[in-house]
Amino acid sequence: MEIEKVDKDVNSIKLKGVKFELRDEANNVIKSDLTTDEKGQFSITDLRPGKYYLVETKAADHYELLAKPVEFTIVKSQPEPVKLLVENKLKSGVLEIQKVDRDDTSLKLEGVKFELRDEAKNIVRTDLTTDNNGRILITDLRPGKYYLIETKAAEHYELDSEPIEIIIERNQQEPKRVQVENKMIYGSVELTKVAARNHNRVLAGAIFNLLDDQGNVLYRDLTTDENGKIQIDELRPGVYQFVETKAPRGYRLKSAPYEFTIEKSQEETLKIRFENSPVPVWVPIPGLDDIDEDDPGSEDGNNTPGDNNGGSTPGDNSGGPTTPGNGGGVSAPGDSDGAPAPGDDAGAPAPGDSDGAPAPGDGAGAPAPGDSDGAPAPGDGGAAPAPGSGDGVAAPAPGDSDSAPAPGSGEGVAAPAPGEDGSGKHGQPGILPQTGETSLFYMLIAGLISLAAGAGLLVYRRFRQL
């Protein structure tokens, strides 16, 4: 009888050092320590015809011991030796796969599918699927090199098709454990900083921090570019907050966090518009914003000479009592409108007068008592100047209705005699009446010029205050 011991999976591998014993049909040991040589062989001669059993007592290294005896029979007058090919199985290994989330390994991923290939890239196992604990157990793996390839990822996770090399060692006592991580599909966010009142105005230079839902700072000092943008990629699905730490120049800081969510399997970039309100700008107006109530030239304080407000000093043209020579004059008793005092430019009214006609010696001449319109005396063309009058115009006589010029007066025009109607001397046609209207016309023009000059001065002062 001849025996050859080989590997079960690869018959070309001969197994050296395997030991047997030979037993007869009655299970009596006939021979022992029968050992295979380098070719995995040994032979037995001089066997009587009958039934025998080969019992393996020691396996080759890393191989499983053959459990069942090998039965064979020697017949009478057997011309050729009995040849037996006995296979041994290499001790197999166990592979355990655990599929988890890359960022949180406590999350087990169910439904991930794999295939297993040997060193020659031949498929050994297929349709291997993780259970609800993210686990796959592969038994009966012959020692050697393998490649684990993911064919289907878990929902919301990226497929990792890169082969994972696995070595099953000989005589492996414990399962080979491999943890395979999967990356969740990440999203991205783009923040655009704009003015609150004009979204077309983008704001550069704003600085932000990015926080997660636990308040942990993930990114610091993110700054908007010239387009007012910040873009962050590779954000795991979840809740985040943008917190502004520095506003753009000229805008208010918006310290309230801006919360946003990256959804699972988000394909498009999440776009956020972050608004800022401008800082109110106070434009100072010279003379108006810096009013000093104690300043004599301010709007609310006492006025300087020539000012147009209350509390007038000498030379003032507004309310309040003035001194002689002031443009305002002191009102006479009974007067209702504050006519000027004697010697003033306008003159004080006579007692009982209601319209502030000029007093004697004044530049216009004051009417006599009872007179209401200051008309010139008969025969006079204008008011005659009183002696020493500044205007060279005399006061009218009592009862006179017009102001007649005094002898030597600058006017030199005689008033029409009583009965004349102004159609010419002694009623002759073609001669204009001599009423003194030319003098009044010039005085009117002078008054208008004075008013215009006063108004211009007032505007100029107000402009300077502003």
Average pLDDT by consecutive 10-residue portion of the chain (466 residues)?
Answer: 91 93 93 92 90 94 91 88 91 94 95 95 94 94 94 94 93 90 96 94 96 95 96 96 95 94 94 92 60 42 40 40 39 38 39 40 38 39 39 39 39 40 43 57 86 84 68
Q: What distance in Å separates the CA atoms of residue 82 and residue 70, rounded to the nearest whole number?
A: 12
Q: What distance in Å separates the CA atoms of residue 451 and residue 327, rounded to the nearest whole number?
A: 13
Domain 188-276: CATH class, spelled out:
mainly beta
DSSP strand E in 229-381: where? 229-235, 238-246, 258-262, 270-276
Q: What distance in Å separates the CA atoms of residue 161 and residue 164, rounded to the nearest whole number?
A: 9
Q: What distance in Å separates the CA atoms of residue 285 and residue 446, rounded to the nearest whole number?
A: 36
Structure token pair of residue 71: 């039965």
Q: Tokens 């209401």 sit at which residue?
A: 372
Structure token pair of residue 456: 């211009």
Q: Where in the chain is the domain with CATH 2.60.40.10?
A: 2-88, 93-182, 188-276
Report which of 358, 323, 320, 324 is spatially closest to residue 339, judged by C-alpha positions: 358
Structure confidence at residue 321 (pLDDT): 39
Structure confidence at residue 465 (pLDDT): 65
Structure confidence at residue 288 (pLDDT): 52
Structure confidence at residue 94 (pLDDT): 94
Structure confidence at residue 219 (pLDDT): 96
pTM of the model as a whole: 0.51
Q: What distance in Å separates the CA atoms of residue 67 and residue 302, rounded to the nearest whole number?
A: 126
Mode of pairing for the β-strands spanning 83-88 and 2-7:
parallel
Q: Which CATH superfamily is domain 2-88 in?
A: Immunoglobulins (2.60.40.10)
> For the segment 196-226, what is each residue's pLDDT rounded down to a tens digit?
999 999 999 999 999 999 999 999 999 999 9
Structure confidence at residue 456 (pLDDT): 84
Q: Does 93-182 carry CATH code 3.40.50.620?
A: no
| Residue 328 and residue 306 in contact, taking contact as beta carbons nearer than 8 Å | no
| Residue 177 and residue 185 in contact, taking contact as beta carbons nearer than 8 Å | no
Vertex 8 angle, CA 4 and 13, to 5°: 60
In angstroms, the Cα distances linking 438 to 410, 419, 431, 432 are 12, 22, 15, 12
> For the segment 45-92, what is each residue's pLDDT rounded down to a tens digit?
888 999 999 999 999 988 999 989 999 999 988 888 899 999 999 899
